Amino acid sequence: MNIANGTLSDREIHTHTHILTHEIIHVYDKIAYVWIESELHTFIQTHIHIKLTATCMLESWKSYSTHACMCTYM
C-alpha cells in the first residue's frame, strides 16, 4: 500500500507539523487507508489504526470508495 515516501506511524500522524491534509479513502476493520498531503505537496499513502469521529461513521466505508471523508483523529 505504501509509495515512495514511506509510512507514518500513529504518533507521527498526530504530531507531524507539516501535514496539510489527510484524506481517508477506505476503512476496513478499524484500519484507515489515507492519503496525506505534506507541506512539500507530495502525497503518500499509508494505513493507520484510528478511531473515527461521529461525523465519519464506519458504515460509510464498506466499499472501496475513492470519495473522501475528511475526519479528525481522536
> pTM for the whole thing?
0.27
The answer to the question of residue 74 being in a domain is no
- Is 32 in contact with 50 (CB distance < 8 Å)? yes
Cα–Cα distance for residue pair 19/56, rounded to 1 Å: 20
The answer to the question of residue 23 being in a domain is yes
Looking at residue 70, what is its pLDDT? 38
The answer to the question of residue 27 being in a domain is yes
Looking at residue 21, what is its pLDDT? 53
Domain count, the chain: 1
Domain holding 43, by residue range, is: 10-61
Q: Is the pLDDT of residue 19 over 50?
A: no
- Contacts (Cβ under 8 Å, ≥6 apart) of 29: none
Q: What is the pLDDT of residues 26-67, one digit of tens each?
A: 555 555 565 655 554 455 555 444 444 333 444 444 333 333
Q: Is the pLDDT of residue 14 over 50?
A: no
The answer to the question of residue 69 being in a domain is no
Looking at residue 62, what is its pLDDT? 39
CB half-sphere exposure, 60, CA atoms < 13 A: 15
